[in-house]
Structure 1
C-alpha cells in the first residue's frame, strides 16, 4: 500500500536558497510548457510530454540556469503538466504565479534518496543536489521510499515521502454488520445517523481579528514591496494553523467512523460546483451574490471535500466501503414514513413531518443522515435529475407528494489490491 509521510525540514540558509531556486526553475518550466501547449492547440496541433522533454535538454544548453535543478525534477514537472492537461485541457490548467504559488518540486527516483534516523526527534535525508537535509522525526517512515516532495507552506519547508508499506486492505471489516450515514452541513460539520454531532472551531475570534487587520495593512502596501511580503507571510501563518486544525479534525473523524463501521454512506456532493461564484459575467450577473458568497465560505470552512478524501484514505486500512448516494431531498424526506416536502424543514435544525398520521420530529441533520443511510440500500441514480445550473441541495418550492425511492444500484466501494 502506498501512503504519505510528511516531516518539517530544518534547512540552513544555503539549502533554503537552493530550494527557492529549484522551485522557481520548476515554475518557469511549467509556465513555458503550458504556454507552448496552448500555442499548439490554437494552431490545431498537439504537444505532449515526449517532445517537450527533448526540447528541455536542448534548452539547458542555451540557458545554463536550468542546470541548477536536478534533471529528473524538471522532467517530473513536465509529467505533472502532461497529466493536468490530459485531465482538464490546456486552457483550464492554471499558471503558476510567483505571488500565489507556493514552491514545490518532487524527486521521483526513490533509489537516489537515503533516509537515516539521527535520534529520537531528528532524522536526515540525502536528496540529489541538495545533499543531507535535516527534518523533525515526528513519526516512523514505515516502508520503502518511492519519491520525495519538498514544499513550502506558511513560511516553513516540508519534506513528504511516498512510502510503500507491507500493509494491504483487509478483505473484511472487523465489524462487518455495521453501517452509518453521514450528513455534511454548514452549522455542524458532520452529523451521523447514530445521532452524533461532530464539529470544531477552526479559527478563533482573535485570529479573525488579526487576519482582518492584516488584510487592511495589505491594502495599503505596494505590490512587490518587502512590507507586502511580510504581511502576506503573517496572513499565511494564520491560515496555515486553521488548515492544520481542519485537517486534524477530518483525519480524526474519518479514523473513528471507518474503525467502527464497515460501510460509511455520504452524499455525492460536487463541492467545486456548489462553491462556484454567483457573480456571473457582466452580461449576465448572478443573483443574491453576497448570500451565495457567505454560503461558499461556510462550505469551504467545514472542509466537506477534505473530509471525503480523509474517509477514502482511512477506509484503505480498515476495509470500510465508502458509498455515495444522490443528495436529492435527503434533508426534506421523512426518515420514518418517506414523505418529502419543503414544509417538513421548519428551520435549520428542526424537522417535523407534515404527513397525515406521522408527525415525526427529529433534528434535521440526524434525519438527513438516516435518509442517506437508507438510500445506500436503495440508492438513487448517480446521474441525477437536476439541470447543470441547479444545486442538488436546493430546497423544494412547496408541498409535494411523497417522492418514491428509486431502484437500488450496487454499492461502490474502494478497490481491492
Structure 2
C-alpha cells in the first residue's frame, strides 16, 4: 500500500535567503487575503476555480510585489484556499477567513518534488533547491527516497517552507510503498491520560517526562513575561509596538517553541514504543475542548476558582492529549494494531476488580481503595482507570467484531470486571 507522510527538517539559511523566504511568505499570505476578498464579494454563480486562476495571473502582472512568489506557489495558495472551502462544505472545518500578519504562520509551497533537487552532503546535512531562493542546507535526520532510491512509488512529492518561532523549516511530503501490515499479536493495554502521570498503563507502568523547560529557562520565561506586561502597559493606546517589546515577544515565542519541540519529540518516541508493544490500545474519548474552557463566567454570574482552573487548563494543554492519540492511531495502524476510544464516564471511580462504583473509593488523587466490603482492592488511581479502559476497549471490540486493525471505536457495552 502507499503511505503518505510528512518529514520536518530544520533549514540553515543565509541572511539573503531568509529575507527572500520572508518576502515570499508575506506575498503568499497577501495573495490568500486577496483571493478571499474576491471570492466572498462575487455572486455564487460567478465563483469558479478557473476564474480565480485567471484573476491570480492578472494580479501577478499588475502588482509587482506579488511577483516575488513563484507561479507554482501562487497556484498552491489557490488550491489550498479552494480545499478549505470544500472542507467547510463537507462539515470538516470552519469557513476560511482573513489571515492576519501576526496571527498566521508564514508558509510557501513547492508543489513539484522534481524541483527540489535534494542531495545528501554528509551524515548531518542535505541540500535542496527552492524557486527564487536557491540552494539551501537542511538537517538530514531521516533517509529520504531521493536519487537512485526514488521511483514512482517511493519519492518526495513536494515540500512546504514554514517559519516557526525559532527559524525556518521544510516539511517534505514523502510517498512510500510498504507491505500491508500483519495482525499484531501483542497484548492489549488501557491508557489513562493525566497531569501528574502523563500516561498511566493498565499493566502498572507509567510513561513520564521531565518538565519541557529547564529551571533556568522557566525563570527566564517568567522574567520575559513580566517585562512584556510592563512594556505593554507603558504603550499608549493605538501606538505601535516598540522594538524592545517586539524582541520580547520573539524571545517568549522561541522558548515556547523549544518546549513544544521537546514535547513532540517525547510523544513520538513514547507512542512508537507503545504501538510496537501492544496490539490493542484503549483510551478515553475525552472532549478536551470542553475540558479546558475558562471558569471566568460572566458579569452577572462570575466563576469560582478561576486562577486554579486556568492553571489546570494550561497543564492539560501542555500535555497535548489529542496529539498523543493521533500519533497512536496512525502508528498502531501501520503495525497491525488498533486504538479503541471508550466512554470516559466512571473510569476513575469504578473498581477494576469488582466493577462497583462506591463513594470515597478515590481516597486521594493518586490512591484508589475499593470501599465494597467484599472487595477492598487497592491500586494507584491512574492504574485502576487504565485497567477499566482496557476492559471497556475489549468489550467494544468484541461487540463489533473484527475491526481490521485500522479504525477507532467509540462504543462501551456494559461493564464486566477486569481480571485481577
Q: TM-score, normalised by structure 2?
A: 0.84
Contact 1:178 1:262 (8 Å CA) reproduced = yes
The residue that corresponds to 1:307 in the other structure is 324
Distance (whole Å) between structure 2 residues aligned to residue 411 and residue 230 of structure 1: 56
Instruction: Identify if the C-alpha distance between structure 1 residues 45 and 336 changes in structure 2 by more than 3 Å, giving closer, same or farther.
Output: farther
1:225 aligns with 2:235: no
Distance (whole Å) between structure 1 residues aligned to residue 339 and residue 204 of structure 2: 19
The residue that corresponds to 2:149 in the other structure is none
Mean CA deviation greater in 110-119 or 185-194: 110-119
1:414 aligns with 2:406: yes
| Deviation per residue, 1:227-260 (Å, 9 max, x gap) | 2222122112211221111111111110111111
The residue that corresponds to 1:68 in the other structure is 68
Instruction: Identify if the C-alpha distance between structure 1 residues 264 and 216 changes in structure 2 by more than 3 Å, giving closer, same or farther.
Output: same
1:114 aligns with 2:105: no
Contact 1:168 1:317 (8 Å CA) reproduced = no
Instruction: Identify if the C-alpha distance between structure 1 residues 285 and 24 changes in structure 2 by more than 3 Å, giving closer, same or farther.
Output: farther
In the TM superposition, residue 75 of structure 1 has moved relative to its aligned partner by 2.3
Contact 2:186 2:277 (8 Å CA) reproduced = no
RMSD: 2.6
The residue that corresponds to 2:413 in the other structure is none
1:328 is matched with which residue: 321, 345, 360? 345
In the TM superposition, residue 288 of structure 1 has moved relative to its aligned partner by 4.0
Show structure 1 runs of 5+ residues with no match. Answer: 381-406
Distance (whole Å) between structure 1 residues aligned to residue 271 and residue 48 of structure 2: 39
The residue that corresponds to 2:410 in the other structure is none
Instruction: Identify if the C-alpha distance between structure 1 residues 93 and 339 changes in structure 2 by more than 3 Å, giving closer, same or farther.
Output: farther
Instruction: Identify if the C-alpha distance between structure 1 residues 28 and 264 changes in structure 2 by more than 3 Å, giving closer, same or farther.
Output: same
The residue that corresponds to 1:191 in the other structure is 200
The residue that corresponds to 1:209 in the other structure is 219
Contact 2:359 2:371 (8 Å CA) reproduced = no
Distance (whole Å) between structure 1 residues aligned to residue 375 and residue 339 of structure 2: 32
Query: Any residues of structure 2 matched to 1:5-404 within 5 Å, and which?
Result: 5-39=7-41, 47=47, 49-88=49-88, 93-142=96-145, 143-173=154-184, 176-200=185-209, 201-221=211-231, 222=235, 223-280=240-297, 286-379=303-396
Instruction: Identify if the C-alpha distance between structure 1 residues 290 and 23 changes in structure 2 by more than 3 Å, giving closer, same or farther.
Output: same
Give the match's secondary structure for 2:266: helix
Q: TM-score, normalised by structure 1?
A: 0.84
